[in-house]
């Protein structure tokens, strides 16, 4: 297996670990325990403990941000293009942490986990999850790792929401924030699209009120939810350039409802692949957490939300992102600057849409690299 890339080296073979603590109280007031978070680390924490960066993942992400789980593994971590020696999150310099969120299905405690009181998966008995809860659980992990202050917290989409919330909840622990393609609250259109995805799952006859574990699950509903979501991650121009109106076959049959267009085949593939690695109930919980996130409502105004933050900020948006449009990032920037905070903002020109932060994109890499270098020089001096 060749684990080198054109822009830096891989972190190589990595291991997912678990941190378990006795109990955790959710924002809803419910207490659960024990609670585990799956996490991975890359690089080395220096003697001063001032080089730690927390990566926060988006909706379908996991603790596996970089590297490979075995020599036969063909799928690197979700941000492997950005994490490793010589990459923006340079593991020769920084100590990188990434955990699966509470409510997740990739090693952290979530709806598919066993409830010790019943011996069965929680299903919908799992407490409602918020971004607030995700951040609080990550705080327990960071303290467990012996870190008092993070050099930076970085994430895109839902990961950006977590990064912003970290700076508000724990201002003395966060040196800087890199928030990419995110918002202070999801738009009505975004909530509507999430709800359509949830209804696709809940109307699948195999969903069974969330009690499908041990039997056939709502695969069709989850696949459809992913297909809907995936459309929102791409721009119209990118989809046209990638697929256009091209057929899978030169002479398609026009008397059937087969997926004859290449774009149809692509979406079906994405849906099927997602079912193999994700839990339907987690999809319900995590999309609802995104919907509930609202800094204006929680703090009265966006200005109030950022009044006590102490971090430096890099806010990045993409011109073709219609799910989290640039106007929402600009709103965050305006509120930070109105509070006199140190914030850098760039609206990157791209046709790739929301998912630009997951592809090999030089303008984004350059912005992250330069920002982190400045932040690290600041804490070293």
Cis peptide before 34 (omega within 30 of 0): yes
Structure tokens at 24: 């955790």
E strand or H helix that includes residue 53? strand 52-56
Cα separation values, 274 from 106, 116, 193, 258, 342, Å: 13, 28, 18, 21, 39
Residues designated as active site = 157, 321, 354
DSSP code of 160?
Answer: H
Q: Write the DSSP string, 324-354.
A: S-HHHHHHHHHHHHHTT--EEEEEE--SS-G
Closest Cα to residue 224, out of 257, 201, 202? 201
Query: CB 266: neighbour CB atoms within 10 A?
Result: 18
The C-alpha R_g of the chain, in whole angstroms, comes to 21
Element (H, E) at 286: helix 280-292
Residue 232 parent element (H or E) = helix 219-233
Alpha-carbon distance of 176 to 171, in angstroms, equals 10
Residue 356 contacts residue 318 (beta carbons within 8 Å):
yes
């Amino acid at each position: 297996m060749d684990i080198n890339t054109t822009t830096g080296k891989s972190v190589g073979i990595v291991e997912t670990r678990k941190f378990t603590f006795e109990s955790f109280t959710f924002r809803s007031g419910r207490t659960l325990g024990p609670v585990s978070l799956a996490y991975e680390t890359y690089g080395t924490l220096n003697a001063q403990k001032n080089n730690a960066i927390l990566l926060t993942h988006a909706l379908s992400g996991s603790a596996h941000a970089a590297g490979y789980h075995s020599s036969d593994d063909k799928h690197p971590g979700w941000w492997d293009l950005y994490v490793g020696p010589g990459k923006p999150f340079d593991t020769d310099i920084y100590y990188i942490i990434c955990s699966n969120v509470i409510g997740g299905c990739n090693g952290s405690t979530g709806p598919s986990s066993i409830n010790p009181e019943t011996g069965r998966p929680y299903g919908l008995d799992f407490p409602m999850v918020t971004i607030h809860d995700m951040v609080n659980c990550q705080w327990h992990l960071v303290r467990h790792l012996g870190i008092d202050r993070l050099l930076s917290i970085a994430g895109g989409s839902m990961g950006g929401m977590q990064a912003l919330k970290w700076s508000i909840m724990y201002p003395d622990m966060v040196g800087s924030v890199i928030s990419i393609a995110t918002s202070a609250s999801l738009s009505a259109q975004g909530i509507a699209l999430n709800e359509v995805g949830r209804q696709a799952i809940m109307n699948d006859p195999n969903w069974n009120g969330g009690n499908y574990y041990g039997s056939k699950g709502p695969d069709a509903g989850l696949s459809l939810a992913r297909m809907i979501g995936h459309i929102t991650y791409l721009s119209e121009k990118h989809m046209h350039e990638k697929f256009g109106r091209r057929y899978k076959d030169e002479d398609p049959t026009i008397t059937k409802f087969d997926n004859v267009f290449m774009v149809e085949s692509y979406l079906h593939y994405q849906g099927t692949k997602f079912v193999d690695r994700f839990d339907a109930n987690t999809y319900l919980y995590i999309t609802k957490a995104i919907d509930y996130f609202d800094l204006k409502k929680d703090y009265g105004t966006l200005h109030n939300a950022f009044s006590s933050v102490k971090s430096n900020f890099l806010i990045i948006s993409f011109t073709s992102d219609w799910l989290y449009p640039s106007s929402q990032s600009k709103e965050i920037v305006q509120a930070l600057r109105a509070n006199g905070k140190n914030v850098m903002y760039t609206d990157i020109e791209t046709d790739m849409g929301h998912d630009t932060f997951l592809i090999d994109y030089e303008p984004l890499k350059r912005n992250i690299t330069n920002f982190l270098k400045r932040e690290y020089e600041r804490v070293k001096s």
